[in-house]
Amino acid sequence: MSQPNNFGFGEEEQMLADAAARYFAEQLPVDQLHKLVADNPDPHRDKHSPWAEAQWREMVELGWTQLAVPEDAGGLGMPAVGVAGLMEQAGRAAFPGPLLSTLCSTYVLAHCNGEGAVAAFEAIIEGHAITLAMTDQYGSWNAADTDVSYADGSLNGTACFVQDANRSDSFIVSARGPNGIGLYWVSKGAAGVAIACDAIVDLTRDQARVSFSDVSAVELSAQGTGQEVLDSARPALLMLLAADMVGAAEWQLQTTVEYAGTREQFGHSLGFFQAVKHPLVDLMIMIDHAKSLVYNAACALDTEPENALQFALMAQSAACDAAAYGCSRSVQYHGGIGFTWECYVHLYFKRQKHSEMWLGDGAYQREQLAQLLIEDRSIA
Amino acid sequence: MNDARKDTQEQADFRQYCRDWLNANAPEPPQVRLPQTPLEIMTTEQMDYLRPWQKAAHEAGLVGADYPEDCGGGGRNDCQRIANQEMHAHGTPFFPNVIGLGMAAPTVFHHGSEELKRELLPGLLSGEDIWCQGFSEPGAGSDLASVQTFAERDGDNWVINGHKVWTSLAHFAEWMILLLRTDKSDKYNGLTYFVVPIRSALGNGVTVRPLIKITGETGFNEVIFEHLVVHDRYRLDDVGKGWQVAMTTLLHERGAGTLVTPTAGGMRNTKGESTSRAAMASALIALATKAHRNGKLASEDPVIRDKLMSLFIRQEGLRQSQRRAQVQALTDHPMRIPLQGKLLMTEIQQESAALALEIEGMASSLYLADENAPESGKWPLSYMNSFGMTIAAGTSEVQRNILGERVLGLAKSK
Ligand SMILES: Cc1cc2nc3c(=O)[nH]c(=O)nc-3n(C[C@H](O)[C@H](O)[C@H](O)COP(=O)(O)OP(=O)(O)OC[C@H]3O[C@@H](n4cnc5c(N)ncnc54)[C@H](O)[C@@H]3O)c2cc1C
């Protein structure tokens, strides 16, 4: 199969992206975001982080949270490029809510053929937020390294680094049983589920350890099939996160360019100096690469699935690089003010550092890609 | 295959025609070693192989497809792209008259009189006349508008005195596009643009001296003008408008112009190996799976693997950005991606060559004349030549200035 020249980014996709950009600009401009999530700078503040619950509810009403649910499961079945467009805008707004988690869960569910998947899709359509609980105590990027076990219909153990744990209604848990990895659906309120918040750097995210003690679970994907499901969903997960990071990096670029255009030293605006100008150009180029690779990966998900992983690894590697550079340059070129809690760049700095690590950093993606391209030589 | 999907009827017919013609008429590989790019053509043997190829391709309509027929063109609509794709796919040699095709032709076309176009373009397109570009001077490089080579009016003529450098292909050139100062009191409005027959004036007002490149090859020259007399009919556009005309040249030189430059091949070297960008990346993987490093294959070394993949990703990123530039909804500033092209293409090429040297290790010390040199010493040559590309046609630093100022809107550097 081959991709359409325009990445399949048509009128509907553009309308959604425009609507999302407008929505975030009106409903969650950065000063409001800062008031909401950064009200308490104390490093020892309460671990529960405030979030945009009202906006999340509105997104449910707008149908954005069920965009990726397949049509035959009752959802909107939007092509992945459209979802990427929304995610890019959410990243640009540093949206503090379970949108990324729920969209990621949707793509995992799409590969599950257990009974439970149908019910989980229905829950998403009704407005539930679902998140992935699959990381072990060491933060392994391979979801098969789970610390949760499954036996006789119930789950025991702890999933670490669970995103949006408090903001979600249920979890997709990866657990090891006697016959291998399976995936299970657990409601947050189920008996035996305990959530212990992490105290994290990122002010826009929520993260926790989720423990399961004899929790009865709905099977989404039988023992021995979980790894395959997660592998199949990985390109979509990487693409969604990369889209979020590209949006956030563009905010970092535009905000820093604006500052470099107004702040004057030595009789010139900062942007006059090439030690500022050239790195900002390099950041722009990195963002452009990452963004192009995100849309290529998104388009591949629907039109060229055999190459989706390769393209998604490229997108995430590029997004991590752009994010890391965007973080360092945006703080540095704001000078002293950039080092304060008051300046908004810290919100994005912290979000991007968090994102860089969640599904594996750039070097990790490149090693995965090397295994594909050098060892498998599956290159066109 | 991919390219054919969106063809108009005219393009589809022309594509088929190009394929048929190339199958029957593409030239045999040369007996002489060809340089990596046309800018390093050194010998008449090389020229004698390349010139007839351009002439044949022009006669067949594959060069100048979109130019009007009375200018020696094919009078087609947006068909040069098609010919280029087919010639690249076929792996033909490159054209020798690169500066003519890429820079002089669009400039003459946009700024020359009808008479001049009809006089000059046919010979340019056929390669009968090789062209060169006399812009840079010892004192004027990145700051091109400071050129000092002077043209003084003398009735219907102009008298030219001064010194141009780095003039690629001047040693073969019949014609030169020439940026001259006609007024010393105004930096930008004191420039005027000419086309000048230099071959006929050799030893009679024009001296061409070869300069030797970092690689040991020649290909560019210095050109001295001493009282060269040129008729006013060879002026392009008005006196004092030279800077605006030069912008047309530079835009095309950097691949952002309106007319598609006829380009062919260069895709296969003398041994018939493909040198396209995608092929270059897999060539590097192939190299790494052969070269040894620290007791194992270079392809098993984590640092080499990381660098290889970074390069791969940047190449794919560039390719996808060029695709995205065509989708208005996914771009904000219309020049944001096009203006990155020259910078990225040349820097990626440089990185590729640098990485190849790293992979080859000690073997990268072996140069062209060494019978043990991997790939005949191609990579050390490529690495050195890559700096020509990041310096010529607006250095990488100047490209970053342009991007920062024109796209990001940052203050203009001095
Ligand atoms: C292989 C090759 C072929 C060429 N062919 C031709 C030809 O056919 N015709 C022709 O006219 N010219 C030709 N050139 C010349 C080329 O256009 C110039 O070399 C180029 O414009 C740079 O000018 P310069 O060499 O004087 O370097 P300089 O302008 O002196 O630059 C030296 C260094 O300073 C940096 N620099 C300069 N200004 C700035 C600034 N404002 N901000 C930041 N950094 C800056 C540059 O980036 C560079 O790194 C060729 C050059 C090469 C290498």
| Residue-wise pLDDT tens digits, A153-172 | 999 999 999 999 999 999 99
ipTM above 0.90, yes or no: yes
Please report the beta strands in chain A, taking only residues with DSSP state E, as ranges in sequence order: 130-133, 148-151, 154-163, 170-177, 180-187, 193-197, 207-216, 218-221, 264-265, 268-269
Give the model confidence (pLDDT) of A49-74 as tens digits. 999 999 999 999 999 999 999 999 99
Question: What is the share, in percent, of chain A residues with pLDDT greater than 70?
Answer: 99
Quote the minimal CA–CA distance from A341 to chain B in Å.
Answer: 26
Question: What is the share, in percent, of chain A residues with pLDDT greater than 90?
Answer: 96
pTM, two decimals, is 0.94
What span, in angstroms and rounded, lies between the C-alpha atoms of A73 and A107?
Answer: 13
Report the pLDDT averaged over residues B105-121. Answer: 97
Mutate which of B40, B178, B391, B405 for ligand 1? The one with the most ligand atoms within 8 Å of its CB, which is B391
- Asked whether B136 lines ligand 1 (CB < 6 A), one says yes
CATH code, A5-126: 1.10.540.10
Residue numbers in B near A317 (CB within 8 A): 309-310, 313
Quote the minimal CA–CA distance from B336 to chain A in Å.
Answer: 9
Report the pLDDT averaged over residues B304-329. Answer: 95
Domains of chain B, first to last: 17-96+104-128 (1.10.540.10), 132-254 (2.40.110.10), 275-407 (1.20.140.10)
Domain ranges of chain A: 5-126, 130-223, 227-379
- Asked whether B168 lines ligand 1 (CB < 6 A), one says yes
**How much is the pLDDT for B274?**
44
Residue numbers in B near A377 (CB within 8 A): 285
Q: Does B315 touch chain A (CB under 8 A)?
A: no
Give the model confidence (pLDDT) of B175-211 as tens digits. 999 999 999 999 999 999 999 999 999 999 999 999 9
Which residue matches tokens 């002010």? A203
**How much is the pLDDT for A60?**
98
Name the residues of B annotated as catalytic: 253
**How much is the pLDDT for A1?**
57
Checking if the pLDDT of B392 tops 60, the result is: yes
Checking if the pLDDT of B151 tops 60, the result is: yes
**How much is the pLDDT for B2?**
47
When the pLDDT of each residue in chain B is averaged and rounded to a whole number, the result is 93
- Asked whether B220 lines ligand 1 (CB < 6 A), one says yes
Confidence of residue B270 (pLDDT cuts 50, 70, 90): very low
Residue numbers in B near A238 (CB within 8 A): none
Burial of A254 (0-12, 13-18, 19+ CB in 10 A): middle
What Cα–Cα distance (Å) separates residue B412 from each residue in A332, A354, B400, B407?
21, 36, 11, 12
Give the model confidence (pLDDT) of B325-361 as tens digits. 999 999 989 999 999 999 999 999 999 999 999 999 9
**How much is the pLDDT for B413?**
82
- Asked whether B133 lines ligand 1 (CB < 6 A), one says yes
How many other C-beta atoms are found inside a 10 Å radius of the C-beta of residue A306? 10
Tokens representing residue B246 in the block: 């030069």
Confidence of residue B268 (pLDDT cuts 50, 70, 90): very low
User: Ligand 1: which atom is nearest the Cα of residue B136?
Assistant: 11
Residue numbers in A near B305 (CB within 8 A): 366-367, 370, 374
Confidence of residue A322 (pLDDT cuts 50, 70, 90): very high
Question: What are the DSSP calls for B114-183, one per residue?
Answer: HHHHHHHHHHHHHTSS-EEEE--BTTBSSSGGG---EEEEETTEEEEEEEE-S-TTTTT-SEEEEEEES-
**How much is the pLDDT for A278?**
98
Residue B109: which H helix or E strand, with range? helix B105-111
Q: Who among B278, B308, B401 is closest to A277 (CB)?
A: B401
Residue whose C-alpha is closest to residue A280's, from A257, A258, A298, A299: A257
Give the model confidence (pLDDT) of A94-122 as tens digits. 999 999 999 999 999 999 988 899 999 99
Cβ pair B320:A296 closer than 8 A: yes
When the pLDDT of each residue in chain A is averaged and rounded to a whole number, the result is 96
Name the CATH code of domain A227-379 (choices 1.10.520.10, 1.20.140.10, 1.10.357.10, 3.30.70.260): 1.20.140.10
- Same fold for the pair A5-126 and A130-223: no
Tokens representing residue A282 in the block: 């390099």
Quote the minimal CA–CA distance from B59 to chain A in Å.
Answer: 33
Antiparallel, parallel or unpaired: β A218-221 and A180-187: antiparallel
Which residue matches tokens 């790494």? B288
Checking if the pLDDT of B280 tops 80, the result is: no
CB B133 within 8 A of CB B166: no
- Measure B224 CA to ligand 1 centroid, in angstroms: 19
Report the pLDDT averaged over residues B12-38. Answer: 95
What span, in angstroms and rounded, lies between the C-alpha atoms of B318 and B321?
Answer: 5
Q: Does B84 touch chain A (CB under 8 A)?
A: no
**How much is the pLDDT for B266?**
58
Query: Measured on CA atoms in the order B394, B397, B401, B407, is the torsion positive or negative?
Result: positive
> In B, residues 273-292, which contact A (CB 8 Å cutoff)?
278, 282, 285, 288-289
Quote the minimal CA–CA distance from B343 to chain A in Å.
Answer: 10
**How much is the pLDDT for B309?**
97
Confidence of residue A152 (pLDDT cuts 50, 70, 90): very high
- Measure B266 CA to ligand 1 centroid, in angstroms: 24
What Cα–Cα distance (Å) separates residue A376 from each residue in A310, A370, B280?
12, 9, 18
Question: What is the share, in percent, of chain B residues with pLDDT greater than 90?
Answer: 89
- Measure B74 CA to ligand 1 centroid, in angstroms: 35
Cβ pair B309:A369 closer than 8 A: yes
- Measure B394 CA to ligand 1 centroid, in angstroms: 6
User: Residue A39 carries which side chain, given as an amino acid letter?
Assistant: D
Antiparallel, parallel or unpaired: β B220-231 and B157-164: antiparallel
Report the pLDDT averaged over residues A143-161. Answer: 95
Cβ pair B329:A282 closer than 8 A: no
**How much is the pLDDT for B90?**
92
User: Residue B263 carries which side chain, given as an amino acid letter?
Assistant: T
Report the pLDDT averaged over residues A219-246. Answer: 97
Confidence of residue B5 (pLDDT cuts 50, 70, 90): low
- Measure B166 CA to ligand 1 centroid, in angstroms: 9
**How much is the pLDDT for B278?**
58
Query: What class is the A130-223 domain?
Result: mainly beta
Residues 6+ apart with CB under 8 A from B141: none
Residue numbers in A near B288 (CB within 8 A): 374
Confidence of residue A144 (pLDDT cuts 50, 70, 90): confident
| HEC profile of B371-408 | CCCHHHHHHHHHHHHHHHHHHCCCCHHHHHHHHHHHHC
**How much is the pLDDT for A377?**
54
CA angle A276, A277, A278 (to 5 degrees): 100
